[in-house]
Structure 1
Amino acid sequence: MPRGAFSAVALTAALSIALTSCSSSSGPATGTGAPAAKGLVVGVTSDPDTLFPWKATQFQAVNVLQNLYGTLTEFDKDLNVVPGLAESWETSEDGKTLTLKLRQGVTFADGSAFDSKDAKHSLDKIMDEATAAVAMASLSSVKSVEAPDPATVVLNLTGPDAALPANLATVNMAMLSSDDTEEKLNSTPNGTGPFTLSKRVPSQSITLARNDKYWGGEKPKAPTIEFRVIPDESSIVSAMQSGNVQLAVFNDPLVAQTAEGGGTITVAKTPQLSYHVLQLNARRGDLKDVNVRLAVQCAIDRKQVLDTAALGEGEVTGPITAPAFKSDPNKRPCPNRDLAKAAEYLGKAGKSGGVTVKAIVSQGEYATSVNEAQNLKAQLAEAKINLELEVLESGAFVDRWVAADFDAAVALNGGRPDPDGSYGRYFTSKGNLNKVAGYSSPELDKLFAEGKATTDQAARKAIYDQVGAHLEENAAWIWLFAGYTYTATTAGVQGFVPMANGSLQYLRTTSTG
């Protein structure tokens, strides 16, 4: 979702925040005389727009919440599905039952015990349309949830669902206490994660404290994690150089180069499953005509967008970025820019004189957004397609995005290891984010159902190849490129593991030396 969904509140933090002192020490460790571990300060460009995990689409909100909440399954550093709050699970022979055994002794931040009652409550509420949970469609195969004893949860399915274990690993599937409400959790998060909320100063910082009762073996290394809002990535570099921030994840390769060039900051480059995309709303205006959408597709040189906005750091992509299911970007109606073909499509639509498409753009959510939008505007103008840009603060962007209040949106969407988790909620007619996607079809409904029900990996790959081809041939969206994240750390920071899905879950293993 735009990373953002992919999302934030106003970026009004003064630059002076970057110059204030940040790290804290709790003094000598008892009996050793050695200084205690220091808190870690992470520089970010935006404040979380929500603290309710079932509705989080903004990257920064997700990054904070995945350190406060637990999920039934998790991803390891290689994006393999591993045990989380469920220490094991078993699928019945007919594939219609998934039985999960829960960990014992797990508690929420408020001290109350986690058990199957909470797991059943969470899954039932996520499936309830009234909740408006962004991951609702990921549970579309679940008919009912049972809690036969405190340590067991049984999911009764309509049929086999190969994607379900991976779908349960996202923070949008966080396990909540059955006693909590959305209103309460937006001010006082209550999760089973490695950290708890300590302090929040809106638009300035959010500080997490180590959860000494965390179930996951070793306690987190850092006593506190402060996410400090600094309005732009270049200012975060300055804060790191002055010693006030120890870790940051950049999207802009130029900023990453600047950071590393100073000699005091180390930068790790990680390929991402997330993808840059021009989202088209096929239910609005001229974009209702597939020929107009195909004209947009043929008028864009994706490599030029990549080179202009991200210094060529990445690769042109098709719809699916997950390595096991990766789309071939050459298998699309116009693999290369073709203005003659674009004109032909506009002619078929009866729009030879041109069209105007209004596009929303997020400023502050990720660094390359405005440059991408401006390059797209310049390219499309040569095909008589006027891309009228509206640049929004990231929180306002997400509000408009969730409401599908746009003709087009320049976005960075988070990718997932399984394509059903990536797109099932978008491009199926009953997907809870289909309004945002702006496109569905009976053929896609059938293909996604087959993809979930098929367990053979090669057969699933063939199915999702068809999904990708259908999306491209109908120009549902215009997939541009997949890039990198650049994890910058100062001297002494150890233990952080960057992940291809952009997760900051390994803040739990990070120390400041």
Structure 2
Amino acid sequence: MSLRPSGRRRVLTAFVAAAALTVAGCSGSASNSAETGGSSASGSAGGSAAPGPSGGNLVVGVTTDPDTLLPWKATQFQAVNVLQNIYGTLTEFDENLGVVPGLASSWETSADGLTLTFTLRDGVTFADGSAFDSADVKYSLDAIKDEATAAVARSSLASVASVDATDATHVALTLSAPDAALPANLAVVNLAMLSSDDTQDALNTAPNGTGPYAFDQRVPSQSLTLKANAAYWGDAPTLGSIEFRVIPDESSIVAAMQSGNVQMSVFDDPLVAQTAESGTVTVAKTPQLSYHALQLNATKGDLADVNVRLAIQCAIDRDQVLQTAALGEGEVTGPITSPEYRSDPASRPCPQRDLTKAAEYLAKSGKSAVTIKTIVSQGEYATSVNEAQNLKSQLAEAGITLELEVLESGAYVDRWVAGDFDAAVALNGGRPDPDGMYSRYFTSTGNLNKVAGYSSPTLDELFAQGRATSDPAERKGIYTQVSDELENNAAWIWLFTGYTYTATATSVQGFVPMANGSLQYLRSTTVAS
């Protein structure tokens, strides 16, 4: 394949500096912080200076309509990609996944690590013209923490005991224990700042955020259009409008790009990406933190037996799944894909396929054969069905039957969030900090624990230690233990990480692909007329 490397692949190798920012919560004084016990951050979220909305209008081809417009509840990739351009967060990630200021211009951690104080930017407004201030921050964080809200990132605020708006531009978070992961966790759109004057019902129809683009209109199952937010606090957004046009098949999107009707799309199928590249379309290949996995729900039926789960783990050749579903475009992975904390994929009971061990584990469970009902998404990402079919074929050789139920994206997400499955073929987003990736899944109080189907006192303690520890080397050791605990109990079967392939017409300039899959740099993208 002749796909053009994005030039941003250094996000995976330059993460040491980013991790220091994540742990210390600062953009320039990490070394002083280590000595004083405090930390601070200040500055701008960055992004190159750009012209105003004269940068043209962009049509982005997507395979699925967003299933929600509420950022606190968004898990579907398409919904997240839209909402991160509408809403703002207290902190943000730069292109190398370093934590930088967002709606908060700076923050400071107390010497004992138990108070995190944010200074908010002056003059920020929501798209409807109303002012953003500390009352909105308190409202948003309190609502996310409230179990009744069913926010998907509620566990990211587990250490936050209280939120106080000390004045219009300052918010103090009182923590139950030091939390090194919190600044990074606050950068994801699931912790977006909403107006205290809005209701969730209203926002699911007409979003109202502080981001570079504002909601314009939506035609269900056809398109969703954003317009430039002229009052955006940062560098002026460059595009006049962005239309996310629903075209259910990636190959059809390629045809639309080659005919000039679509100027940009992000593919996950390497074969489709290869066909997209032409004299008028270029393709950037970017390694991702997201990971493909066979999720096992250890609360359901035969999967409650660790020996059954280990039998499944040993019966799978992960590289075969990668070769079959993604043409070998990626690498076999363990649980943690965060570069500074990356798991060793060889550190698991069966690093290579071993049908003899699979049979031994199955015999320990007292079963000669098992059947696992497995949900599969069709439409959210391209390789899902091929992955499922390959897994089914491999596991059949070990006396394990995957009974596949292929669902459209919205139905799959509903079942997934409810934990209504025995197993699920899944592509989950990764994060720079492993606490944000997994504490909401694999702790007993995690708000997505019913999705994970597994927790243990050991994991509860390890995640608590990881949040409370600021030293990068100590944190790496802790999350290595987390990874080992997950693998040794076959909580899920981690398969591989892959790439995204960002296809753009030659008229499109300025977009920066990111390893977390974010489309935030649409704010600096232009389309030549």
The TM-score with structure 1 as length reference comes to: 0.92
Query: What secondary structure is seen at the aligned counterpart in 1 of 2:205?
Result: coil
Quick one: distance in 2 between partners of 1:132 and 1:510?
Answer: 34
Deviation at 1:37, TM superposition (A): 3.6
Measured in 1, the distance between the counterparts of 2:360 and 2:347 equals 20
For 2:136, which of 109, 118, 122 is the aligned residue? 118
1:459 matched to 2:474:
yes
In 2, Cα distance between the equivalents of 1:70 and 1:37? 22
Matches within 5 A, 1:296-307: 296-307=312-323
Secondary structure in structure 2 of the residue aligned to 1:365: coil
Q: Does 1:57 align with 2:72?
A: no
C-alpha separation in 2, matches of 1:453 and 1:434: 21
Q: Which residue of 1 aligns with 2:287?
A: 271
**C-alpha displacement at 1:263, in angstroms?**
2.5
Superposition RMSD in Å: 0.7
Query: What CA deviation, in whole Å up to 9, does each residue of 1:385-405 have, x standing for no partner?
Result: 000100000000001001111
Matches within 5 A, 1:391-470: 391-470=406-485
Please show how residues 210-225 of structure 1 align to structure 2 within 5 Å.
Answer: 210-216=228-234, 218-225=235-242
Matched ranges for 1:43-442 at <5 A: 43-216=61-234, 218-260=235-277, 262-352=278-368, 354-442=369-457
Aligned to 2:248, what secondary structure does the other structure show? Answer: coil
2:500 matched residue in structure 1: 485
The one-letter code sitting in structure 2 at the alignment partner of 1:246 is Q
Contact 2:84–2:520 (CA under 8 A) maintained in structure 1: yes
Distance 2:201 2:223 in 1: 21
CA contact (8 A) 2:56 2:238 kept: no
Deviations 1:356-395 (A, max 9, x none): 0010000000000000000000000000000010000000
What letter matches 2:338 in structure 1? Answer: A
Tell me the SS of whatever aligns to 2:302.
Answer: helix
Structure 1: how far apart are the matches of 2:489 and 2:483?
10
Q: Which whole-Å CA distance do the structure 1 matches of 2:55 and 2:314 have between them?
A: 55
Equivalent position amino acid for 1:491 in 2? T
Residue of structure 1 in register with 2:39 after alignment = none
Shift of 1:38: 2.2
Instruction: List per-residue Cα deviations over 1:21-43 (Å, max 9, x = no partner).
Output: xxxxxxxxxxxxxx954210000
CA distance in 2, matches of 1:507, 1:341: 49
CA distance in 1, matches of 2:240, 2:332: 41
* SS class of match (1:200): strand
Q: Which amino acid aligns with 1:460?
A: R
Q: Does 1:494 align with 2:498?
A: no
3-state SS of paired residue (2:56): coil
1:49 alignment partner, SS class: coil
| Residue-by-residue CA offset, 1:383-442 (whole Å, 9 max, x unaligned) | 000001000000000010011110000000000000000001000000000000000000
Shift of 1:159: 1.3
Q: Whole-Å Cα distance in 2 between the matches of residues 465 and 131 of structure 1? A: 32
Shift of 1:264: 1.9
SS of the aligned residue for 2:508 comes to coil
Structure 1 counterpart SS, 2:257: helix
8 Å Cα contact 2:281-2:504 kept in structure 1: yes
In structure 1, the partner of 2:30 is none
Q: Which amino acid aligns with 2:257?
A: M
- Percent same amino acid among aligned pairs? 76
How far residue 164 of structure 1 moved from its aligned partner, in angstroms, is 0.2
Structure 2: gaps of 5 or more residues: 1-52
Q: For the Cα contact (< 8 Å) 2:265–2:504, is it kept in 1?
A: yes
How far residue 491 of structure 1 moved from its aligned partner, in angstroms, is 1.3
Q: What whole-Å deviation, never above 9, does each CA across 1:306-333 have from its counterpart, x for those lacking one?
A: 0000000000000000000000000000
Structure 1 residue ranges without an equivalent (≥5): 1-34
Spell out structure 1 runs of 4+ moving beyond 2 A. 35-38
Deviation at 1:131, TM superposition (A): 0.5
What is the one-letter code of the residue matched to 1:373? A
Offset, 1:448: 0.2
Q: Secondary structure at the match of 2:495?
A: strand
Who is 1:26 aligned against? none
Deviations 1:237-296 (A, max 9, x none): 000000000000000000011111x33210000000000000000000000000000000
Q: CA deviation at 1:492?
A: 1.3
2:208 counterpart letter in structure 1: N
Give the Cα separation in 2 of the matches to 1:395 and 1:123.
27
TM-score by length of 2: 0.90
Equivalents in 1 of 2:374, 2:464: separation in Å?
32
Q: How many residue pairs get matched?
A: 476
| In structure 1, distance between residues paired with 2:224 and 2:409 | 18
**Partner of 1:503: helix, strand, or coil?**
coil
Match of 1:19 in 2: none
Correspondence for 1:471 among 486, 496, 518: 486
3-state SS in 2 of match to 1:297: helix
Query: Which amino acid in the other structure matches residue 361 of structure 2?
Result: Y
Partner secondary structure for residue 169 of structure 1: coil
